[in-house]
């Protein structure tokens, strides 16, 4: 994976060729989804006690061992987890951001970023680009905060952001999507 190359070279992203950098950037949605999956099933919390193999983690999370291994490998390639030996993973400082209840926790945010409302919105992004109108409303049938109010199961993630990134109640500015 391209970022592993950069990580192993003290973060020297510029050593990568421009096509390799763009190729990596084009895969961001996969990394985002893998982060949200790992946050949803609590992998970082399970690794606090020490490294575990993918099979143990799969049992603890009711996941398929091979599918979980692929997610862990992907996240390992960007420094979220470390594969310390084949099939055995440890928590890294980046992975610590997926833990529950720590000051650096982004777990609620990552769980929310994996909700279908975002993928529907992204799928309709061309509409916003062409019209300047909100893609979120088009894709989900309501403006953002109205949608969250009508879908508390999804909107609850906003309330659980550990006191950060909460909506201010203001609805100013143009939507990105």
Read off the CATH number of the domain in which 20 is found. 1.10.10.10
Mean pLDDT of 36-65: 97
Q: Is the domain of 86 the same as that of 120?
A: no
pLDDT of residue 172: 46
Q: Does residue 45 register a pLDDT over 80?
A: yes
The pTM score is: 0.79
User: How many folded domains does the chain comprise?
Assistant: 2
Q: Is the domain of 78 the same as that of 165?
A: no
- Give the mean pLDDT of the chain: 84
- Please give the torsion angle defined by the CA atoms of residues 39, 42, 43 and 49, in that order, rounded to the nearest 10 degrees: 140
The verdict on residue 105 lying in a domain is no
The verdict on residue 107 lying in a domain is no
- 46 closest CA partner among 58, 34, 33, 32: 58
The verdict on residue 21 lying in a domain is yes
pLDDT of residue 33: 95
pLDDT band at 24 (very low <50, low <70, confident <90, very high): confident
Q: Is the domain of 76 the same as that of 135?
A: no
Q: Is the domain of 86 the same as that of 167?
A: no
pLDDT of residue 160: 54
Percent of the chain with pLDDT over 90: 58
Q: Is the domain of 128 the same as that of 154?
A: yes
> Rounded CA gap, 132 and 114, in Å?
25
Mean pLDDT of 31-55: 97
Are 78 and 4 in contact by the 8 Å Cβ rule? The answer is yes
> Rounded CA gap, 40 and 152, in Å?
17
Q: Is the domain of 69 the same as that of 122?
A: no
Q: Does residue 93 register a pLDDT over 60?
A: yes
Containing domain of residue 91, as a range? 2-98
pLDDT of residue 154: 79
The verdict on residue 13 lying in a domain is yes
pLDDT of residue 153: 81
């Amino acid at each position: 994976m391209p970022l592993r190359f950069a990580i192993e070279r003290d973060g020297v992203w510029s050593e990568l060729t421009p096509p390799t950098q763009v190729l990596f950037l084009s895969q961001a949605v996969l990394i985002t989804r893998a982060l949200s999956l790992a946050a949803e099933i609590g992998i970082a919390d399970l690794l606090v006690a020490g490294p575990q193999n993918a099979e143990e983690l799969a049992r603890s999370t009711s996941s398929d061992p091979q599918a979980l291994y692929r997610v862990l490998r992907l996240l390992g390639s960007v420094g979220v987890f470390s594969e310390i030996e084949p099939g055995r993973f440890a928590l890294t400082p980046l992975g610590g951001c997926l833990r529950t209840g720590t000051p650096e926790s982004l777990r609620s945010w990552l769980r929310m970023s994996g909700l279908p409302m975002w993928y529907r919105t992204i799928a309709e992004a061309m509409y916003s680009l062409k019209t300047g109108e909100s893609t979120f409303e088009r894709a989900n049938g309501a403006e953002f905060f109205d949608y969250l109010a009508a879908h508390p199961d999804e909107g609850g993630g906003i309330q659980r952001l550990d006191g950060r990134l909460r909506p201010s109640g203001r609805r100013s500015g143009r939507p990105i999507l």
